[in-house]
Structures are given as C-alpha cells and as structure tokens.
Amino acid sequence: METNLGKGTGKEILEKILNIIAKVAQLVEHNLAPKGNGD
C-alpha cells in the first residue's frame, strides 16, 4: 500500500484520493437516484 503512495508528490496523492472520493460519490448518487428509497 505504501509503495503506491510513496511514489509521486503530495499533490498527486491528494488528486488520486479526491478522484477516488469523487468516483465513489458518483456511484452512491447513481445508486440512490433511480428509486429514492432508503434501502
């Protein structure tokens, strides 16, 4: 795990993390959007 983070600058790591968060947020939104039910 540290090998991936060790490579690149802090900015690159931050961008990767933000990218992942954005993708996860999109997936969550997409999954919640169609029905609108709690579960």
Phi-psi region of 9 (alpha: psi -120 to 50; beta: other; left: phi over 0): beta
Q: Does 33 have pLDDT greater than 90? A: no
Question: In terms of residue numbers, what domain contains 15?
Answer: 2-32
Is 25 a member of any domain?
yes
Q: How confident is the model at residue 38 (pLDDT cuts 50, 70, 90)?
A: low
pLDDT digits (tens, 9 = 90+) for 21-32: 999 999 998 888
Based on C-alpha coordinates, what's the Rg of the chain? 15
Is 11 a member of any domain?
yes
Is 38 a member of any domain?
no
Residues 6+ apart with CB under 8 A from 5: 13
Is 15 a member of any domain?
yes
Report how many domains make up the chain: 1
Q: Kindly state the average pLDDT of the residues 10-37.
A: 87
SS (H, E, C) 1-39: CHHHHHCCCHHHHHHHHHHHHHHHHHHHHHHHCCCCCCC
Q: Does 7 have pLDDT greater than 80? A: no
pTM of the predicted model as reported, rounded to 2 decimal places: 0.53
Is 12 a member of any domain?
yes
Q: What is the pLDDT of residue 14?
A: 92
